[in-house]
Amino acid sequence: MKRTNHPAQRRKIAIWLPLILGISAGSYLYATRVPNYPKIPQAWTSHGIEMANTDSLAAYRNEEGTVIVAATSKWKRRVDLFDAQSGTFLRSITHEGLVRPNGIAAAYILLQSIDAIANQDDDNAFDVNENDRNSATPSLVQALLVVDRDAPGLFIFNAATDKLLAHIADELQNPYGITTIQDDDALLIFITDVSRKPEDVVSRYRITAQRDAANSNENVDSTSPIILHIEPLGTFGATEDGRIGKAESIAIDGPRGRIYLCDEDRDARNVKVFQPDGTFTGTNFGGGIINGDPEGIVIVNDADAGDFILVTDQTRRITAWHAFDAQSMAYITSFTGAPRIANTDGICIYEGSIPGFDGGGLFAVHDDAEVRAYNLADIRNLVRAARIANP
């Protein structure tokens, strides 16, 4: 090769050579540092609307029997609704009070008349499984509960009509995550707040609902306005070992009596376990396994091999899900999606029937830009195989 002494050519080499070497080095580091997780194929990608910094997800079955995936859109101040079977956009829920909708949950609220609330028999406590119930049942209202970070509060919408049922501001400062659980005739709500003191990072509320009917039960009908009764139940958190540096995602494990709080603090990056009364159990899991932010958490039922917890590991290059045994909280395995999925904030599952899905679906946000769906049967099979391989 002939050596060049021309100044212009030497300048080109001086400019391009470091760039080429840098790209090569970056490609090498990417290939060596991104783990090669097992991959679950996606079922669909959402379509039909321009996404605008999508954050959190919730799934429910509407009055017509269609499973809906609801996604908060922070930049457009709305909640987008998609068909869980195909990912097709259906419509958006908007409200003038929404500024930056963040966390979201779907839940049924038991509707009673004024007399029924007063005469509720504890022996007939109402237990709702949101994956099996249909909101067309006269005694239930399907609600979407949306946390707004910048207009600090909780917006509760009727999922059938898109109308606002209630707004809770209380003393919320910078709320992010939300989860719910049925408690007899009431709905218990838990909201994380990143600006609260460590001992107050979770706010609790108890909600009951009634139709505003005149005088007697006979007058209760589907056109009567819905009235929500909201009771603040205080806050909880922990100091010292149970201290949460940055609490966003939260989940409740009713059968095992646990509350899981994801701690995104860089010195933690784990999941801390609390009792239903808000007492820290002294247990955490996921530390050393979660590389990025633990941004989403769900409990998957598996009657054959045992329930497991899925925790999202959010990084800009790749999203991983880590599976932990629901009883022992021991690590089982990890996986990701195909095509590549990254920078995932929100996830949710729906374990009821969805056409085209076997055993329900997992839904996840990709890079704030779209929702992706995965077959829960594929995930259960992968976790079962990992249990067998590593008993």
Alpha helices in 104-214, H assignment, sequence order: 114-118
Give per-residue pLDDT as tens, 47-57: 999 888 999 99
How large is the average pLDDT for residues 247-268? 95
**Going along 276-339, which residue ranges are E strands?**
280-285, 293-300, 308-314, 319-325, 331-338
Which range, of 12-16, 74-78, 332-336, averages the lowest pLDDT? 12-16
Scan for tokens 């600090």, then name that residue.
Answer: 152
Write down the pLDDT at residue 75.
Answer: 92
Give per-residue pLDDT as tens, 173-192: 999 999 999 998 899 999 99
Which range, of 158-167, 203-212, 256-265, 339-348, averages the lowest pLDDT? 203-212
Write down the pLDDT at residue 68.
Answer: 98
Angle at 173 between CA 169 and CA 176, to 5 degrees: 90
The alpha carbon dihedral of 154, 155, 158, 159 has a sign of negative
How large is the average pLDDT for residues 12-25? 51
Radius of gyration of the chain (CA): 23
Phi first, then psi, for residue 361 (nearest 5°) are: -140, 155
Give per-residue pLDDT as tens, 212-251: 765 334 444 555 688 899 999 999 999 888 899 888 999 9
Give per-residue pLDDT as tens, 101-128: 999 999 999 887 544 444 444 333 333 3
More confident residue, 132 or 75: 75
How large is the average pLDDT for residues 258-285? 95
Give me the chain's average pLDDT, please.
86
Write down the pLDDT at residue 120.
Answer: 43
